[in-house]
Amino acid sequence: MNENLKIEPIIGLEVHVGLKTNSKMFCGCDAFYFGQEPNTHCCPVCLGLPGALPVPNKKAIDWCILIGLVLNCQVNKESYFERKNYFYPDLAKGYQISQYNKPLTYGGWLEIKSEIRSTKSETNSKSQITNIKKIRINRVHMEEDTGKLTHAEVNGEKVSLVDFNRSGVPLVEIVSEPDFNDTEEVVTYLKKLHQIIRYLGVSDADMEKGTMRLEPTINLKISTSSGKTGLRGASTKVFYTPLVEIKNINSFRFVKQALEYEIKRQAEEFAKTKTVKTTGNKTTVGFNEEKRITVLQRSKEEANDYRYFPEPDIPPMEFSQSQISNLKSQICELPDTKIARFIKDYGLTEYDANILCDSKDVAEYYEKTVNSKQTTDNSKQITPKIIANWIINKKADISKVSPEELVKTIQNKTRTVSLPDEELEKAIKKVFEANPKAVSDYKSGKENALMFLVGQVMREIKGQAEADIIKMRVQKLLNI
């Protein structure tokens, strides 16, 4: 009898983001720990010495709520901190101040573009359809970071060193629902989240420095059906493989690799036994970046084990509607809105607008340049599109060249255009006639053909015009 197997990954994500406040979450210590002398940014509070009292950092709380709001979360009007108890050498207090029952914000979502890969060749020749998918956000809550362990060798002896500079740095945890069915979706979501957080200016979200850390959870839904579906005698069984959490990953590439490894491993495990162990426990694994495999760390971990209870030293927090509205009004224009506006206002392609808006600094620089050109003469030829091309293709160094200087540079370059419009058009038409295949290739979507045509025109007019201008004129004449 035929047996059909359908494997569907179920992936959720926990993302930790270290905020760039000046001071730590519950004390006045300098929160900037990266590259500092170990154990120099510590006090009785962040070391958890007896009698020390934590005082919450208001800015960190506001920023956490801000992240929740842009992720469409509700704000808990009453919220409180809890102690998450566990023992580990990087946690001097023996507990981490976190949130469990009443996170600052909950119940939001983030929309991502997801490619649906069609398996059947349908009338539409395209095999991918772009779909908007809503990833639900379970919560965005506030907690504190732990210290950092380093395993080293001192006087020939293997030791673990602990640095508490990071202990107590404000950390926001963003927990998604298990809504991802594919590793590409995970990466798309992470890139978007990373971009939004950087736009808000609340964190550098620098993965190399550990200010953005990723923890996916994954298991598989495996459906087996024997016989033809819909016929009598056909039977379908559904299995769920045990849940695995992959700890502390620091790159989008590693997340993808770790998840792909787990998908394969869990599917193979199932193939061996044709059943799954239903212990109900979550397994924690680490990712070995060199071998690209996951490694078992702990086999059982439940919320119960942490004995969460309300932090007795910090009173509960209350938020009024006006406080929440005030925070909402501080939200800057976010990437999606900016991209749409750039396409509409400046006539950019979606591709160019995406590149320019990838970073807020570049997007702002671009707009300043576009606006500064309107105040100068000889600006006819310098369209927003040309400026976009300069920034994207010529990689204008925005840290060194001011928008005004960039306009001048572009103008100086375009001044060499001594060719009258009609001459340029004549040359282009001549090239079209001589290269009908390149023209039809370009019309059917082959981008390379455009560069070829531009090159031919350039030769024809002996370099008397900017490639960008020729490119635009060629596109215009072909109605593209």
Contacts to Zn ion by CB under 5 A:
27, 29, 43, 45-46
Q: Give least dist CB 29 to Zn ion, A.
A: 3
Which residues face 14 on adjacent strands?
175, 215
Rg (CA), the chain: 28
CB of 208 to Zn ion, least distance (A): 25
Is residue 289 within 8 A of residue 247, CB to CB? The reply is: no
Nearer to Zn ion, 169 or 174 (CB): 169
**Nearest CB to Zn ion, comparing residues 147 and 178:** 147
Measured from the Cβ of residue 347, the count of other Cβ atoms closer than 10 Å reads: 13
Strands 95-98 and 3-18 come out as: unpaired
Question: Coil, strand, or helix at residue 108?
Answer: strand
Nearest distance, CB of residue 174 and Zn ion, angstroms: 25
SS3 30: strand
Q: Which residues contact 58 (CB under 8 A, 6 or more apart)?
A: none
* Closest CB to Zn ion among residues 31, 255: 31
Closest listed residue to residue 67, CA positions, set 103, 13, 117, 96: 103
Which among 202, 220, 221 has a CA at the least distance from the CA of 212?
202
Query: Which residues, 6 or more positions from 207, have their beta carbon under 8 angstroms from its beta carbon?
Result: 213, 214, 250, 251, 252
The least CB distance from residue 28 to Zn ion, in Å, is 7
Q: Which is nearer to Zn ion, 68 or 147 (CB)?
A: 147
Q: How far is the CB of 205 from Zn ion (least distance, A)?
A: 23
State the Cα–Cα distance between residues 176 and 15, nearest whole angstrom.
8
Residue number, 42 or 285, with CB nearest to Zn ion: 42
Task: Decide whether 45 or 174 has the Cβ nearer to Zn ion.
Answer: 45
**Residue among 44 and 347 whose Cβ is closer to Zn ion:** 44
Q: Residue 313 is encoded by which pair of tokens?
A: 């030293």
In terms of CB distance, is 46 or 457 closer to Zn ion?
A: 46
Burial status of residue 344 (CB atoms within 10 A of its CB: 0-12, 13-18, 19 or more):
exposed
Smallest distance from the beta carbon of 27 to Zn ion, in angstroms?
3
In the complex, the smallest distance separating the C-beta of residue 33 from Zn ion, rounded to whole angstroms, is 11
Instruction: Specify the residue, 46 or 453, whose C-beta has the smaller distance to Zn ion.
Output: 46
- Residue 374's alpha-carbon distances to 55, 349, 388, 406, 411, in angstroms, are 51, 21, 15, 13, 12
The rounded distance, in Å, linking the Cα atoms of 432 and 20 is 56
Beta carbon of residue 30, minimum distance to Zn ion (angstroms, whole number): 9
Least Å from the CB of residue 41 to Zn ion: 7
Residue (162 or 362) nearer to Zn ion, CB: 162
CB-nearer residue toward Zn ion: 49 or 477:
49
Residue 9 DSSP code: E
Q: Least distance (Å) from Zn ion to the CB of residue 56?
A: 13
d(CA 324, CA 192): 24
With a CB cutoff of 8 Å and minimum separation 6, the contacts of 393 are none
Q: In whole angstroms, how close is the CB of 206 to Zn ion at the nearest point?
A: 22
Phi-psi region of 476 (alpha: psi -120 to 50; beta: other; left: phi over 0): alpha
Contact partners, residue 180, CB within 8 Å, separation at least 6: 9, 10, 11, 12, 13, 135, 186, 189
Measuring CA to CA, how many Å separate 55 from each of 310, 312, 314, 394, 436?
15, 12, 7, 50, 74
